[in-house]
Structure 1
Amino acid sequence: MSRTMAQHDLRIVALRRLSEAHLAALQAVAQVDYFDELHDGNRAEYDAALARAHGLIGGKLELDDAALERAPQLKVVSTISVGYDNLPLAAMNRRGILLCNTPDVLTETTADTAFALIMATQRRLVELSCMVREGRWQNHVGPQHFGHDVHGKVLGIVGAGRIGAAIARRAAQGFNMPVLYAASTPKPSLEQQLGAERCSLDELLERADIVCLSVPYREDTHHLIDAAALARMQPSAALINVARGKVVDEQALIDALQRGVIRAAGLDVFEQEPLNPDSPLCRMDNVVVLPHIGSATHETRAAMAVRAVANLINALTGRGEVDAVNGGVLADDPR
């Protein structure tokens, strides 16, 4: 169901993840068409609203080159996320459409999720919890139930941006873990504060007990972790992915897990989402799968929405700073 609010010169389409307070803030500066979900029954209405819109905001935005062609007035897109690989950035650049995202806000929460996956894969938490729930805990646990320590193990972080750095802090300061990182540029603060060591991706894969992915998805990171990369990892190692699903060749990962090339995986993201329940990943005891919940806490999602709303209002009105992905494309007067 859609709702149209307040009459103003500016028009905004809002899609998903917005509260009444967020919508009221947008209503103060623009006419807002809000769609809590998209389906066959309101798709035409959504397309018509987008064709009139100057701004678009929401989570899980559905936008492609064809939609941009049908939205001649669109000037700003504000996504309630850090990642934007689902959006046609090149086409937006060509059309002078500013893209804003929500960095920083979800850094700590996503790092928490990464560490939850590290703990779960190392200590076999999901597998052993299921054993108890299903009545299969009949005797004292033995070696067949043992997991692996987290403290003191070598953590390799692929991509040492905000989230990677937050994971590194948890590892080094909380669990006394030596930290390796592979990044395009040195991170002196990680090296000085945590003793982190920068190395090549190949060396990281060979040395780390746990490999954690936190790189953005781009053409050069597509299937960064493929069969060859997995073969470089230790047989006792675990792979953790809180980045994007397509950073990993999923079929190669399945094969590596089945053949014992690596020991375990903790995955919050997948090549196709939602993950097909028929995927072998769902049937492996040595795999922990989550439904892309990296930033999914009440506190963080609310903060992300506030940030996205401010980005859109500031970009359209020129009132303040924005978190611009492609800064410089917005005209002085978006109207």
Structure 2
Amino acid sequence: MFGKLLQHSFRIFILSAKSQARSSARVRRYGKMSKPTIYLTRKLNSAAMKRLEEQCVVELWEGPDPVPRETLLSNIANKKGLCCLLTDRIDQEVLDAGTDLKVISTMSVGFDHLDLPAIRAKNIRIGYTPGVLKDATAELTMCLILATGRRLMEASKEAATGGWSSWSPFWMCGMGLLGKTVGVVGAGAVGSEVMRRVKPFRPKDLLYVNRTPRPDLEEELGAKQVELDELLATSDYVVACTSLNSDTQEMFNEEAFSKMKKTAIFVNSARGGVVDQDALIKALENETIGAAGLDVTTPEPLPLSSPLFKMKNCVILPHIGSATYTTRYAMAMLAVENLICGLKGEEMPEELKAK
């Protein structure tokens, strides 16, 4: 009897062990299945990576440069989500390769690198990172305004190469902001912050061009909404802060530059595509305008052979508008949260919705 009892207990133990094993196997499989696989086109900071890896199976391009096109196409298959940068062109070809994509999250406020109609045709949700970079970009825009107007780069080079022989009353004179007219094209998040930073320099007038009036800026800063032609003709500084779209593509062209003052300073911290760059080069060479300060160009990086690098009246920066540690970390975390929330079917912190 004791033998039968022992045999029965052993059989129960074996069945229980098999059941637990099956249960454990189900948990492990469920754990893998419950984490969607995503592709990341550039490694982010440690906090953003940790958050992403908690919620997703992450595959990524670890190179310092943008992911090669063929690498992106070959790795996007079977991915539920994509976290990309403005250097990654996400078009029909990518979407055809990534047939399982549910969410695309870009670590940028601009979205001209995304084929929006093609993405929306596939009901793929889109996250982006506006707001968090407006202050850093506005600060950098002010740097360009001052550096270009006061000829800082040119003066620094003179000091470093022996051109500075003595103090001279009219040597290296430039244009300040006091009593000048500053025109901002695009009074959105960045443009409005640029105007707020310009105001303490006591300009004569603050003008802006925008699709809709900004009564808040008019009341707060005394800004005035005008038509583009008036802004171009009357501004001492013309500052491009507009987004790039079909309406703004190369809006600063030969005709636009011809309407500006010969002493006008053109500053672009928006997108290179809002400028006809050949027309800008011509305007600077022919002294149609006074100078230009650029954080963005076409293409990027700008080839070293570009005539712009040879001009004393042109300041060029390598697209560093949002390049502060605080801002870039915030952008990374927002891009990650957009992706995670989108994959869960939840509301994104910042979703780019069709208008």
Q: Is 1:28 the counterpart of 2:54 in the alignment? A: yes
Which residue number corresponds to residue 106 of structure 1?
A: 133
- Of residues 19, 23, 29, the one that matches 2:45 is 19
Which residue number corresponds to residue 3 of structure 1?
A: none
Change in Cα spacing, 1:99 to 1:283, as seen in structure 2 (3 Å) is same
SS in 1 for 2:126: strand
SS in 1 for 2:118: helix
Which residue number corresponds to residue 134 of structure 1?
A: 161
Q: Is 1:61 the counterpart of 2:73 in the alignment? A: no
User: Structure 2 length as normaliser, TM-score?
Assistant: 0.86
Question: Separation in 1 of the partners of 2:272 and 2:290?
Answer: 19
Which residue number corresponds to residue 170 of structure 2?
A: 143
Change in Cα spacing, 1:327 to 1:200, as seen in structure 2 (3 Å) is closer
Which residue number corresponds to residue 235 of structure 1?
A: 262
Shift of 1:319: 4.3
Which residue number corresponds to residue 82 of structure 1?
A: 109
Question: Separation in 2 of the partners of 1:256 and 1:236?
Answer: 11
- Of residues 315, 321, 335, the one that matches 1:288 is 315
Question: Separation in 2 of the partners of 1:41 and 1:255?
Answer: 34
Question: Separation in 2 of the partners of 1:81 and 1:141?
Answer: 45
Shift of 1:297: 1.2
RMSD between superposed Cα atoms in Å: 1.9
Q: More deviation in 45-54 or 298-307? A: 45-54
Kindly indicate whether the alpha-carbon contact (under 8 Å) linking 2:295 and 2:319 is maintained by their aligned counterparts in 1. Answer: yes
Kindly indicate whether the alpha-carbon contact (under 8 Å) linking 1:230 and 1:256 is maintained by their aligned counterparts in 2. Answer: yes
Change in Cα spacing, 1:99 to 1:278, as seen in structure 2 (3 Å) is same
Which residue number corresponds to residue 249 of structure 1?
A: 276
**CA shift digits 1:141-161 (9 cap, x unpaired):** 342421112223111000100
Shift of 1:300: 0.7
Shift of 1:194: 0.4
Change in Cα spacing, 1:42 to 1:133, as seen in structure 2 (3 Å) is closer
Change in Cα spacing, 1:42 to 1:91, as seen in structure 2 (3 Å) is closer
**CA shift digits 1:103-157 (9 cap, x unpaired):** 0000000001110000001110000001111122112234242111222311100
Name the amino acid aligned to 2:52.
L
Q: State the number of aligned residues.
A: 322
Question: Separation in 2 of the partners of 1:128 and 1:25?
Answer: 46
Name the amino acid aligned to 2:237.
I
- Of residues 75, 83, 95, the one that matches 1:49 is 75
Name the amino acid aligned to 1:159.
G
SS in 2 for 1:304: helix
Kindly indicate whether the alpha-carbon contact (under 8 Å) linking 1:61 and 1:79 is maintained by their aligned counterparts in 2. Answer: no
Kindly indicate whether the alpha-carbon contact (under 8 Å) linking 1:227 and 1:252 is maintained by their aligned counterparts in 2. Answer: yes
Which residue number corresponds to residue 299 of structure 2?
A: 272
Name the amino acid aligned to 1:65.
Q
Name the amino acid aligned to 2:82.
L
User: Structure 1 length as normaliser, TM-score?
Assistant: 0.91
SS in 2 for 1:266: strand
Q: Is 1:70 the counterpart of 2:97 in the alignment? A: yes
Name the amino acid aligned to 1:35.
W
Question: Separation in 2 of the partners of 1:44 and 1:229?
Answer: 39
Name the amino acid aligned to 1:288.
V
Question: Separation in 2 of the partners of 1:300 and 1:190?
Answer: 24
Name the amino acid aligned to 2:221.
L
Kindly indicate whether the alpha-carbon contact (under 8 Å) linking 1:78 and 1:99 is maintained by their aligned counterparts in 2. Answer: yes
Gaps of 5+ in 2: 1-30
Shift of 1:184: 1.0
SS in 2 for 1:7: helix
Q: Is 1:94 the counterpart of 2:110 in the alignment? A: no
Over the matched positions of the two proteins, sequence identity in percent amounts to 39
Name the amino acid aligned to 2:138.
A
Name the amino acid aligned to 2:58.
V
Question: Separation in 2 of the partners of 1:38 and 1:67?
Answer: 21
Which residue number corresponds to residue 225 of structure 1?
A: 252
Kindly indicate whether the alpha-carbon contact (under 8 Å) linking 1:18 and 1:58 is maintained by their aligned counterparts in 2. Answer: no
SS in 2 for 1:221: coil
Which structure would you say has the larger Rg?
A: 2
Change in Cα spacing, 1:28 to 1:319, as seen in structure 2 (3 Å) is farther
